[in-house]
Amino acid sequence: MKVQELPETNNIMKKEIKFSLVYRDMWQSSGKYQPRVDQLQRIAPLIIEMGCFSRVETNGGAFEQVNLMYGENPNIAVRTFTKPFNEAGIQTHMLDRGLNGLRMFPVPADVRKLMYKVKHAQGVDITRIFCGLNDVRNIIPSIKYALEAGMIPQAALCITSSPVHTVEYYSGIADELVAAGAPEICLKDMAGIARPAFLGRLTKAIKEKHPDVIVQYHSHSGPGLDMASILEVCENGADIIDVAMEPLSWGKGHPDVISVQVMLKDAGFDVPEINMKAYMKARSMTQEFIDDFLGYFIDPTNKHTSSLLLKCGLPGGMMGSMMADLKGVHSSINMTLKSKGKEPLSIDDLLVMLFDEVEYVWPKLGYPPLVTPFSQYVKNVALMNVMMVIRGEGRYTMIDANTWGMIQGLSGRLPGPLAPEIIELATSKGLKFSEEDPQKNYPDALDTFRKEMQENGWDCGPDDEELFELAMHDRQYRDYRSGVAKKRFEEELEKAKSDQMAQQGLSEDEIKKIKRAKAEPVTALTSGQILWEIDPVLPCVAPSIGSKYSEGDGFCYISTPYNTIERQEILLTGKMIEVCVKQGEFVRKGDVLGYIERI
């Protein structure tokens, strides 16, 4: 008797799934800073060589502002990073916050328009536009601006889990965004808390109505649902999946490309192969960047997953800032409890209280999706409530102006109704609620910024990109131009290094010894009194930690006992890691004046 052979369903190839590497977001979800331009230039060829990415996220929110903060021109960084991908035929994409552009608060319309022209000229192909409130009034203008500038507008749905955030709610928004000209929809699961089956139903609803629209899924690994979610959206028609790579995958970041590729390949999807030799090189280089300086600003807990995130719905990337907030108020809260004769609370006790309070206040504030900046607003209200309740005072006694703006509707329409007590509190303060288009609250401003550029003698740059940076990040841009940002960052880095060594139990003398071992001493060439800020021949500025010198630069002047003034020069190129003498101090020939680390 012949046994009937069953068809091998696993050999039936399903649709093609493409991968996008979120190299920018990998860093943002891990820590404070992004790689320098020279590092981005080095990693790009390896990402291309991996051969599995059709897209790479190159810039956007919390990229350019961060570059400015450590004294680097973000326009150079974007152009440098996008160029090799453009040449290789890999699409580049950025993240923008709709009404907020690339920052945390609203942007005038003329600055938003300029953003797309600048970014297209710099080599960015796709802009992922999201509104933290999913208000289409904040997204649709950006779709129009992007199309006019020649970019591909990908409209994002900020996904969360609440009674008001249903499949019907999201698919209705998608209909409006597609009608406005968006050829792509992103399901932005910013906290990774969306339930997999829900995401499958939503993907299916969008693809059934708009089969030609590309659906890209973006998730974080925080609570551990992301792999199941990826499989669900792919089974229901998704086209592109955002992925990360080691050593910045998983934790509060994103799933690793290898795991996603293996899972989807086994499920029968057509997925690209990965050049593992290039993967390992890129992995090693990314770790090199962490070891260089970026790791000093990465909270170790961001490498962990936490099911607690499902309870409060906050993005995993906020865990670091939340823990910092709690540590900042911990001692104060326990002093209050002690004065009341109550037992002190541990950090874990406070964390659970904060999560419970977020869960309590979120529906009362109208269920804003917990994504930047609204996740910060809700968290701040919850934190202040916890502190006030412990002190025996009422809730909502400390709400900042930005949060009130969200409550009033100045940033857009909240998804759910406000609780009566919130409405009553706002009314008692004389605050008015708005249903107007939020953009009307923020008039055009480019002419003012252009005038400032002219007055300072600053070049607006190719395609007005320098003008754009000033208009988008005015305070950070001014600090960048003045050199204040770079100096501040170098001081911050030195402090971070010292703090890390102190956490390892090293004494101050041991820390100095470690630093000095990597540096070279600057020794006095003669005896006398140290002088700075005088200019008998060439200028000499008082040094600070992080000050950079080239060989032949002046370090100080020394007034000798023989009524001569000698110029002390630096004999190497490097940065100052320790200054050992003060203005007016007497030194002997051979004394150490400071330590410089070669660069």
Give the N- to C-terminal CA distance of the chain in Å, as an integer: 80
Give the three-state DSSP class for 41. Answer: helix
Clarify whether residues 290 and 365 are in a common domain. Answer: no
Of 98, 63, 90, 92, nearest to 182 by C-alpha is 98
Clarify whether residues 39 and 184 are in a common domain. Answer: yes
Clarify whether residues 291 and 316 are in a common domain. Answer: no
In a domain, 64, yes or no: yes
The residue from 440, 455, 488 where one domain ends is: 440
Distance CA 526, CA 588 (A): 6
Clarify whether residues 352 and 283 are in a common domain. Answer: no
Residue 434 reports pLDDT greater than 60: yes
In a domain, 406, yes or no: yes
Residue 7 reports pLDDT greater than 60: no
Give the three-state DSSP class for 212. Answer: coil
Clarify whether residues 294 and 370 are in a common domain. Answer: no
Clarify whether residues 63 and 145 are in a common domain. Answer: yes
In a domain, 392, yes or no: yes
Task: Output the average pLDDT for the chain.
Answer: 90
The residue from 280, 300, 320 where one domain ends is: 300
DSSP code of residue 587: E
- 245 C-beta neighbours (distance < 10 Å), count: 25
The residue from 300, 330, 348 where one domain ends is: 300
In a domain, 496, yes or no: no
In a domain, 397, yes or no: yes
In a domain, 499, yes or no: no
Distance CA 448, CA 343 (A): 56
Clarify whether residues 251 and 351 are in a common domain. Answer: no
What is the domain range of residue 391? 309-440
Distance CA 518, CA 494 (A): 14
- What is the sign of the dihedral through the CA atoms of 386, 387, 391 and 397? negative
Clarify whether residues 84 and 145 are in a common domain. Answer: yes
Of 554, 559, 553, 550, nearest to 585 by C-alpha is 559
586 pLDDT tier (thresholds 50, 70, 90): very high
Clarify whether residues 278 and 317 are in a common domain. Answer: no
Residue 213 near residue 183 (C-beta atoms within 8 A): yes
Largest CA distance in the chain: 115
Q: Flag the least confident range among 14-18, 449-453, 505-509, 564-568.
A: 505-509
Clarify whether residues 333 and 281 are in a common domain. Answer: no
Clarify whether residues 165 and 229 are in a common domain. Answer: yes
Count how many domains the chain has. 3
The 3-class secondary structure across 234-263, one letter per residue, is: HHCCCCEEEEECCCCECCCCECEHHHHHHH
CATH number at residue 541: 2.40.50.100
* pLDDT tens-place string over residues 471-505: 999 999 999 999 999 888 888 888 888 877 777 77
Residue 254 near residue 22 (C-beta atoms within 8 A): yes
Residue 10 reports pLDDT greater than 60: no
Clarify whether residues 176 and 275 are in a common domain. Answer: yes
Of 197, 139, 206, 142, nearest to 168 by C-alpha is 206
